[in-house]
A and B are shown apart, each in its own frame.
Chain A
């Protein structure tokens, strides 16, 4: 499934300009250090962190997109930096647990 398909099927709201990518898996963490150590290229990163440092961290490990859950507001500078890197920042009003359920039902990360 691509990022664009995921936006439509999971009801996510795109906030940044991005390059459409294939979503390979899912990684859930609110710690940048944990993502740097454990996330894989193509992962969809679910987090409630919105500081702009999530963008270079996401870029370092080459996640397919960052999903900010729980309806957290994302600062403009984070969105701007993500657009510059071509990284999708997507927003969901659902809490992380419910969104994960939805993604799992869609088959995301099941492979």
Chain B
């Protein structure tokens, strides 16, 4: 992993159309509740999650693969038993493989997040499996590609929220 940059994933919601959009920022202080108008949208920040972005470098050929389009990794909470990803998670779990879902950024014009290329997800999976002992279990990173996006999914991001809280948070509210 190289070129690691820490920052915030900002979740903004339009209180006019209810759409959510997200982006990464390296600003030092993330201000919640900042409101502004952009065309027909009235955006306000509903969440700032501390996160990071990075590249993966090949030590053999020197190629660098950027993951700037990766908003974050989600873990499945098993909220819907008939969900395609939950069914896949259970199947992989039986094979001692733990599934995480890669989520691209949300744009206001689309219901579901942008997709990260499958070859990049494969490299990311390989990277994490090479960092760990795979005799006990493995990791599989799949695309978060549910047609209805986050409208029903209660998956949770591996992000840091509530870092300014005086006590560690034990429950999170969804930004969607």
Tell me whether A91 is interfacial, beta carbon within 8 Å: no
Which of A19, A37, A61 is within 8 Å of B132, CB to CB?
A61
Interface string of A51-72 (1 = CB under 8 A from B): 1110011011110000000001
Tell me whether B87 is interfacial, beta carbon within 8 Å: no
A41 and B131 within 8 A (CB)? yes
B156 and A72 within 8 A (CB)? no
B132 and A62 within 8 A (CB)? yes
Bound complex: CA A59 to CA B128 (Å): 10
A56 and B158 within 8 A (CB)? yes
For chain B, which range describes its interface: under 10, 10 to 19, 20 to 34, or 35 or more residues? Answer: 20 to 34
A56 and B160 within 8 A (CB)? no
Which residues of the other chain, A, contact B73 by a CB distance below 8 angstroms? Answer: 36, 60
Complex interface residues of chain B between 104 and 159 (CB less than 8 A to chain A) = 128, 131-133, 136-137, 139, 156-159
B133 and A62 within 8 A (CB)? yes
Which of B132, B158, B171 is within 8 Å of A36, CB to CB?
B158
Interchain nearest-CB distance for B154 vs A (Å): 12
Of B13-21, B28-36, B46-54, B57-65, the stretch lying at the interface with chain A is B46-54
B75 and A50 within 8 A (CB)? no
How many residue pairs, one in A and one in B, have C-beta atoms under 8 Å apart?
A: 72
Tell me whether A31 is interfacial, beta carbon within 8 Å: yes
Interface string of A22-50 (1 = CB under 8 A from B): 00000000111110110011100000111
B139 and A33 within 8 A (CB)? no
Residue among B75, B100, B139, B156 with most chain A CB within 10 A? B75
A-B residue pairs in contact (CB < 8 Å), sample of 19: A31-B50, A33-B6, A33-B51, A37-B52, A41-B132, A49-B168, A53-B75, A53-B157, A53-B159, A56-B158, A57-B158, A59-B98, A61-B132, A62-B131, A62-B133, A72-B168, A75-B170, A85-B98, A86-B136
Chain A positions within 8 Å of B, measured between CB atoms, are 19, 30-34, 36-37, 40-42, 48-53, 56-57, 59-62, 72, 75, 85-86
Chain B positions within 8 Å of A, measured between CB atoms, are 1, 4, 6, 50-52, 54, 73, 75, 98, 100, 128, 131-133, 136-137, 139, 156-160, 163, 168-172
